[in-house]
Amino acid sequence: MKLNERSMAHYATCDSPPDKTGFLFKKGERNTAYHRRWFVLKGNMLFYFEERDSREPIGVIVLEGCTVELCESTEEFAFAIKFDCAKARVYKMAAENQAAMESWVKALSRASFDYMRLVVKELERQLEEIQEAAGGSFVGAGVGNLQGRPKSSKRNHMGRSRSGASSSSSSSSSISSSSSSVPPMSASFSAQKNQQDELQLISGPSKENGVAWSKPPAALANGFVEGASSCAVWESSGDPANVTGYGADGARAPPVPPRRKGASLESPVCPGTGCFSKLHDWYGKEVEELRVQWLQSQ
């Protein structure tokens, strides 16, 4: 499969700040030796370089649909990136110390685009509620204030199509983050998988476009501005784009009904969908599990 490799390599080395960097040992594909490589995590891309000052990455691991787990290994501080597809490669890695391992596992397990999207949607929803509560048109300081109500549109499922536990709706309006309330999991945690199961249920109730994007006549930058820094400039525009989701077969999804006021955590549009905190707990599980395992091994 072709890939825009040059541009991807550029993304790896350009001056946009990475989410995490460091040395890790990576087990080779064919031989069993672990090689020390310099890793750069940007978004959902994990690039690896031969040396820290190498100009180009040797490779990249696309972190969508993967789980990050501790694993048994002759190496200390080992963990694995696993994908759920037939004959998928397991990337075995080892960190240099306990703290580094924990930090990488945490960073990698939340690196997916889906996860970021989840968090963004939640904050978007929260901001809307705050603005609605404040009485409609809200004037924010500086650029980027939402003008009026963006049109609602329904998005199609973005999650993986897997059969999974359906999550019960929560009508509680308080968000709790305690992971102690989460039921225990087996050693091979799969927070990402569960997140994907859950994600189906959260098929975007809220608008696609919470941020009005000003469109200059010619070019539309996707985080790309010529010059030194890459900066998205948000300007209020009177016409937020209305994006409707299309399924793979091209069918247009129906428009969503308007939001009720005083919405609880349960989505008014997709009743029965799980609340964010529960979803987020799934992400916290592997971290909690890791912690438990580590404490037990002490």
Size of the site for another protein (CB under 8 A): 104
Q: Where do we find the tokens 């799969």?
A: 190
Q: 74 vs 233, which CB is nearer to another protein?
A: 233
31, 32, 161, 298: residue in contact with another protein (rule CB under 8 A): 161
d(CA 275, CA 177): 11
Q: 125 vs 266, which CB is nearer to another protein?
A: 125
Tokens for 43, please give them. 């978004």
Q: Is 114 helix (H, G, I), strand (E, B) or coil?
A: helix
114 binds another protein per the rule CB under 8 A: yes
d(CA 185, CA 71): 16
73, 147, 152, 209: residue in contact with another protein (rule CB under 8 A): 209
State how beta strands 59-62 and 45-49 pair: antiparallel
d(CA 146, CA 136): 10
69, 197, 208, 266: residue in contact with another protein (rule CB under 8 A): 208
The residue type at 236: S
d(CA 48, CA 51): 9
**130-159 positions binding another protein, by CB under 8 A:** 130, 134, 140-145, 155-159
**1-30 positions binding another protein, by CB under 8 A:** 1-11, 14, 16-17, 19-20
**221-250 positions binding another protein, by CB under 8 A:** 221-224, 229-234, 241, 243-248, 250
Residue 57, classified by CB atoms within 10 Å of its CB into exposed (0-12), middle (13-18) or buried (19+), is buried
Tokens for 163, please give them. 């059969």
24, 26, 38, 102: residue in contact with another protein (rule CB under 8 A): 102
Q: 45 vs 201, which CB is nearer to another protein?
A: 45
Contact segment (CB under 8 A) with another protein among 97-105, 187-195, 255-263, 267-275 equals 97-105
37 binds another protein per the rule CB under 8 A: no
35 binds another protein per the rule CB under 8 A: no
Contact 30/45 with Cβ under 8 angstroms? Answer: no
Q: Which long-range CB contacts under 8 A does 85-89 form with residues at least 24 apart?
A: 89/29
**50-69 positions binding another protein, by CB under 8 A:** 56-62, 64-66
How far apart are CB 54 and another protein at their closest, in Å? 12
31, 74, 163, 177: residue in contact with another protein (rule CB under 8 A): 177
d(CA 102, CA 46): 16
116 binds another protein per the rule CB under 8 A: yes
Tokens for 59, please give them. 């490779």
